[in-house]
Chain A
Amino acid sequence: MSQSTPRHFVSEEPFDPYSVEKLSKNQESLYLASQWRLMWWKLKKHRLALISGFILLLFYLVAALAEWFAPYDLHTRTRFIHAPPQAIHLFHEGKFIGPFVYGYNFKLDMNTLKREFSPDENKIQPIRFFCSGDSYRFWGLLESRFHFVCPSAETLKYDPGIDSLNPTPTYSFISKSQAGELFLLGTDRLGRDLLSRIIYGSRISLTIGLVGIAVSFFLGMVIGGLAGYFGGWVDALVQRLIEVLRSFPEIPLWMALSAVLPVTWSPLLIFLGITIILALLDWTGLARAVRSKLMALREEDYCTAAQLMGAKPGRIIGRHLLPGFMSHLIASASLSIPGMILGETALSFLGLGLRPPITSWGVLLNEAQNINVVALYPWLMLPVVPVIVIILAFNFFGDGLRDAADPYKN
């Protein structure tokens, strides 16, 4: 070791800038993650929001495949008028049969003229799955008879003829022609299956919120964006307009506007009209949010840079400013969907919104308008259950989404 060693130690190894602060795999992925990925991670931690999101997905799935999920067609009438819901059984007198319902015993009460249905323990009607039933046109295009569940095609008759040799009771087919019925949520005044109608109704009720929010989102961004970016008299005008719209009580104004829609319009036009009416009053909150954000952001350097490079206001707002808080906007928009769904329900309930043959939950509830229904046919009020569930789900999901979109919240 007589060789001279250098005065200073020089490491031959290549320099690693992260040698002191080593980034773990986790940290690395966190730093490199996109904004949406971060949101998703935060949302995953929010249990309630996740469950709500799952429920929402389920509802929209059912709505999309309504024809397939509904046991009957929307307009199929049966002779069972105001029949109460059937219960699903698995066992008949201790013997496992699989999911089945009991058929109805029909009696007309001659004093009150009330139709009285009671389950007939002798008629056993097994429910069929993945089966062929009422024919339908899927989304108005594809003709099919394939359903998820159908009423049974035959009624099993329970025959208690027990002989001493064979102690198990026997079942026999009555006949192939006597098909069973499946009214899990009862029927309405025309003998139509309520469950099927609720499933079909979800299509309208669920889309009206989305379409409405899309319109109001657009209005809010454009109007709020203009007010926030230009300020001055544009801003003052928009502010006054918002104030005026906000001081109207919503439902009377909605009623007035929907009374304007001509009776002669086609159902589809009425649907669009109602959505736009709902959106017309809803954009104010979003416009305010956009405006206040833009007021702050337009003073940022990157905005000035864009201006200096000759970008037009439309491009600056749409390309540079809005994306910065888009996630937050979407989250808060999702919170106003339930209000729209409730609004449509209330309008249709009053007979001012959608009209049959278009079927939404509000239209279905329209039949539950008088007190007799509560007393005699309470199952007609069941369409309110999906309304409540969907509104709660949207509320929780929106809350979670908003928290997740907020970068300052942990």
Chain B
Amino acid sequence: MLRYSIRRLLTMIPTLIAISVIVFVIIQLPPGDYLESHIATMQAQGESIDQKKIAFLREQYGLDQPMWKQYLDWAFGFMQGDLGYSFEYDMPVNDVIGDRMFLTILISIVTIVFTWLIAFPIGIYSATHQYSWGDYGLTFIGFIGLATPNFLLALVMLYFANVYFGTSIGGLMDPRFIDEPMSSEKLLSILEHLWIPVIVIGTSGTAAMIRRLRANLLDELGKQYVTTGKAKGLPPGKLLRKYPLRMALNFFVADIGNLLPSIISGAEVTAVVLSLPTTGPLLIASLQSQDMYLAGSFLMFLAILTVLGMLVSDLLLAVLDPRIRLQGSISK
């Protein structure tokens, strides 16, 4: 197990390096840099620019360096926790990102838990009652959930939450709690606002998971050990709990790897609509204004988050399924 974990950790390194290169290339792709577009706006407004100041800034941020050097500076800074400087906000990226990253992670985790809680019982019901009305109904709802763009769902939910529950529109808490120390009331307000993004982000993931769980469990239910169990007179509930369900559970854990990227994607779009104080709105703004270090840090963090999620799912899977860790050591 230990050997497997170490091996798995080591394979993460080249992946992360490759990701960082891609991210850096992407944020460098737009023609020009932030200073150039900044100068253009200033000139358009009829303000004069001090060429000396521009040159100073350019040197300060290393914008005059060759590309590979800029990348190395950025990558090494990143590892030491220095994320660079946000031009737009005029402060270090670390200060801009802070809470937002935390809230993104919080929402993602709550959403995953929500997805599991909903998908698990429904998936089991659908598989054990295949072709029943309940199965058809749930499958249909699942498909609708899969097909509805979640940003629109967010808008509608926001409206109804406001009309029927009086929840304030947008944000993660009532406006009066912003900048206040954490209190039980504030926590309550956050919980009150949290369920909307969680449902909105979770819907498509839940629908996909129900379908996959159903398919997997159906495969297991058709196998001979289930027939054997039935033949020797195991009660259906116990039979289900003891054998096929455990097999299907493996896949459930393995699926975090698939789930996490889609949840984070969904969270970004939803956050824009709901104006959540997460990474979504800022990411878009920074991409549009070529605030490269801010955008790069966001992209990098989101990618790291998914890579970590996959790591967790692989390790959990290795704990659950001895075949995987044995395979790992044999091939070595």
A247→B306 contact, CB < 8 A: yes
A250 at interface by CB-CB < 8 Å:
yes
Number of interface residues of B (CB under 8 A): 46
Tell me how far the C-beta of B12 lies from the nearest C-beta in chain A, rounded to whole angstroms.
10
Nearest 3 CB-CB pairs, A to B? Answer: A251-B265, A259-B287, A391-B147
**Nearest chain-B residue to A244 (Cβ)?**
B18
The one of B31, B273, B288, B306 that contacts A259, using a Cβ cutoff of 8 Å:
B288
Q: How far is the CA of A262 from the CA of B261 in the complex (A)?
A: 27
B158 at interface by CB-CB < 8 Å:
yes
A260 at interface by CB-CB < 8 Å:
yes
Number of interface residues of A (CB under 8 A): 40
Q: How far is the CA of A346 from the CA of B280 in the complex (A)?
A: 13
* Interface-central residue, B147, B159, B169, by most chain A CB under 10 Å: B147
The one of B19, B148, B269, B287 that contacts A247, using a Cβ cutoff of 8 Å:
B19
List 12 additional contacts besides A244-B19, A395-B146; criterion CB under 8 Å: A248-B303, A252-B283, A255-B283, A256-B295, A260-B29, A260-B30, A262-B31, A338-B147, A365-B149, A373-B155, A374-B156, A388-B148
Tell me how far the C-beta of B74 lies from the nearest C-beta in chain A, rounded to whole angstroms.
15
**Secondary structure of the B contact surface, majority rule:** helix
A240 at interface by CB-CB < 8 Å:
yes
The one of A240, A249, A352, A370 that contacts B302, using a Cβ cutoff of 8 Å:
A249
Q: Which of B31-90 contact A (CB under 8 A)?
A: 31
Q: Which of B253-273 contact A (CB under 8 A)?
A: 260-262, 264-266, 268-269, 272-273
State whether A342 and B295 are in contact (beta carbons under 8 Å apart), knowing that A252-B264, A255-B268, A374-B159 are contacts in the complex: no
**A179 partner residues in chain B, CB cutoff 8 A:** none
The one of A251, A253, A260, A384 that contacts B266, using a Cβ cutoff of 8 Å:
A251
**A250 partner residues in chain B, CB cutoff 8 A:** 261-262, 265
Which B residues lie at the A interface, using CB under 8 A? 14-15, 18-19, 22, 26-27, 29-31, 143-144, 146-149, 151-152, 155-156, 158-159, 162, 169, 260-262, 264-266, 268-269, 272-273, 283-284, 287-288, 295, 298-299, 302-303, 306-307, 310
A238 at interface by CB-CB < 8 Å:
no
A234 at interface by CB-CB < 8 Å:
no
**Nearest chain-A residue to B288 (Cβ)?**
A259
A249→B265 contact, CB < 8 A: yes
A349 at interface by CB-CB < 8 Å:
yes
B15→A247 contact, CB < 8 A: yes
A388→B144 contact, CB < 8 A: yes
